C-alpha cells in the first residue's frame, strides 16, 4: 500500500507513494476537502486538471444528506459524485469537537442533535465504519474523540481512553473490499498520553496513522509540538496524516517533521472571503489596493485564474457579488496548495528540500505572522 522512496537528510521529510483502490497518490500530498461530496466552488474536471490526487468526504454530513440510501443506490460515493480517483472519509470524530453544543458523549459513541432539524442521531465506532463501508471510500478513518485544546487533564484522559477503546471496535468492523483504515492519535500536547495512544494504535496494525486533535484553536507552537510528540512512535513504513492542517508555510514545516498527508478547508474558505494565497503570503483581493492592479494573483502561478485574469477583474467580480470571482479565487488557492506539494516532492527527490524550506519561510513568514495574529485574536 505505502512505499517509502526517500527521506530528506536534513529533516524528517519523506517521499512516498500510496497505492489505493482508485489510484496512486504521491506523497507528501494535500487533500482537498469535499465535506458534503463537493470541493466548494470547484468541479471534478477542474480538480483533475489542476493535479488533485485525492479528496475528502465526511461521514457525519453525508449520512445526514443525501443519506446512505441515495449513495447506495448510486453505486457508492465515487459514482455519486463522479470522482474516480481516491477518496478519504473522515469518521465524524471531528464533529465531537465542532458540534460540542449539540452532542452528548456516551460510552459507545456520541448522540447528536442534527444541526439541520434537531432530530436525534447516534454515531459510534460501529456506525461510523458501517457508513464508510457503504460510501466505499479508499481510506476510512476510525471514530475518535477529538478534545478541545482547552481540555482539562481529566477530560483529555477520558478522550484518549475513548479513542483507544473505539479504535479496537473500529478495527473489528467490516469494510469495503478495497478500503484501508487509519487510526487517529489523540492526546493534546501531553507527551505521555500521545505516546500511549500511538503505541496502542500501532499495536492494532492499522494501514496508516493520523495525528488528530490539532488545529482546534491552539497556538501554532502547540500544534507543532503535538505533531513532534506523536511522530516518533508512528511506524516509518506506514503513511502519516496531520488532520485539518494548515497554511502553506505550516505544510512545509510539517513535511519537515515527517508528515505525509494533509487536508484543510483554508484554500476555498478564505477564497470566499476574497483572500488569495501567494508565494509572499496572503493577499486581500477585495481590498482597494487591487482596484487597478492588472497583474495576475501570483506571477509564478500556472492556474486558470492567473493565466487569464487580473487582480482588478477578480476584485470587481467579488465586489459586485458575481459567483465567478469566488470560483476563480478557489481555483487559484487550491492549485497553489497542490503546486507547493509538487515542489516539496520534487525538492525531496533531488536533495534540495532544505534550501526550498529556507526560501519558502523567508518569503512567506511575514504575512504568516499576520494570519496567526488574526487567528489568535478570535480565540
CA distance 2 to 234: 14
Q: In this structure, what C-alpha cell is assigned to residue 319? A: 465586489
Task: Please state the separation of Cα 317 from the chain's center in Å.
Answer: 29
* Active site (annotated) includes residue 90: yes
Q: Which helix (H) or strand (E) holds 56?
A: strand 55-58
Instruction: Return the DSSP state at 142.
Output: P
85, 143 Cβ separation under 8 angstroms: no
DSSP 61-127: HHHHTT-HHHHHHHTSHHHHHT--S-EEEE-SHHHHHHTGGGEEEETTEEEEE-TTT--EEEE-HHH
Selected catalytic residue, list 260, 263, 293, 298: 263
| Residues near 35 by beta carbon (within 8 Å), at least 6 away in sequence | 56, 57, 58, 61, 265
| Residues near 78 by beta carbon (within 8 Å), at least 6 away in sequence | 22, 84, 87, 136
* Active site (annotated) includes residue 117: no
CA distance 345 to 348: 5
Active site residues per annotation: 90, 263
Amino acid at each position: 500500500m505505502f512505499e517509502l522512496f526517500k527521506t530528506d537528510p536534513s529533516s524528517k521529510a519523506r517521499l512516498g507513494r500510496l497505492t489505493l483502490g482508485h489510484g496512486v497518490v504521491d506523497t507528501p500530498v494535500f487533500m482537498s476537502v469535499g465535506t458534503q461530496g463537493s470541493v466548494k466552488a470547484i468541479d471534478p474536471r477542474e480538480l483533475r486538471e489542476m493535479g488533485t490526487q485525492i479528496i475528502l468526504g465526511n461521514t457525519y454530513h453525508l449520512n445526514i444528506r443525501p443519506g446512505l440510501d441515495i449513495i447506495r443506490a448510486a453505486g457508492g460515493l465515487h459514482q455519486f459524485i463522479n470522482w474516480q480517483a481516491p477518496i478519504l472519509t473522515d469518521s465524524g470524530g471531528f464533529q465531537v469537537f465542532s458540534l460540542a453544543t449539540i452532542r452528548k458523549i456516551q460510552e459507545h459513541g456520541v448522540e447528536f442533535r442534527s444541526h439541520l432539524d434537531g432530530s436525534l442521531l447516534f454515531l459510534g465506532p460501529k456506525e461510523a465504519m458501517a457508513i464508510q463501508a457503504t460510501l466505499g471510500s479508499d481510506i476510512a478513518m476510525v471514530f475518535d474523540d477529538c478534545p478541545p485544546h482547552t481540555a482539562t487533564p481529566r477530560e483529555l484522559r477520558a478522550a484518549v481512553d475513548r479513542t483507544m477503546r473505539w479504535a479496537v471496535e473500529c478495527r473489528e468492523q467490516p469494510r469495503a473490499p478495497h478500503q484501508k483504515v487509519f487510526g487517529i492519535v489523540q492526546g493534546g500536547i501531553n507527551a505521555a498520553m500521545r505516546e500511549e495512544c500511538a503505541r496502542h494504535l500501532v499495536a492494532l496494525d492499522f494501514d496508516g496513522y493520523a495525528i488528530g486533535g490539532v488545529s482546534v484553536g491552539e497556538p501554532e507552537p502547540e500544534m507543532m509540538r503535538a505533531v513532534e510528540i506523536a511522530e516518533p512512535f508512528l511506524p516509518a513504513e506506514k503513511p502519516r496524516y496531520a488532520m485539518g492542517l494548515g497554511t502553506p508555510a505550516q505544510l512545509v514545516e510539517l513535511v519537515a517533521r515527517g508528515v505525509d498527508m494533509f487536508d484543510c478547508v483554508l484554500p476555498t474558505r478564505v477564497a470566499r472571503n476574497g483572500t488569495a494565497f501567494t508565494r509572499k503570503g496572503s493577499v486581500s483581493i477585495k481590498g482597494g489596493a487591487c482596484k487597478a492592479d492588472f497583474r495576475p494573483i501570483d506571477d509564478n502561478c500556472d492556474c486558470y485564474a492567473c493565466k487569464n485574469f487580473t487582480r482588478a477583474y477578480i476584485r470587481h467580480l467579488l465586489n459586485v457579488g458575481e459567483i465567478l470571482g469566488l470560483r476563480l479565487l478557489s481555483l487559484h488557492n487550491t492549485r497553489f496548495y497542490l503546486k507547493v506539494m509538487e515542489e516539496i516532492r520534487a525538492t525531496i527527490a533531488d536533495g534540495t528540500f532544505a534550501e526550498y524550506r529556507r526560501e519558502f519561510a523567508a518569503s512567506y513568514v511575514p504575512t504568516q505572522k499576520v494570519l496567526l495574529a488574526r487567528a489568535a485574536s478570535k480565540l
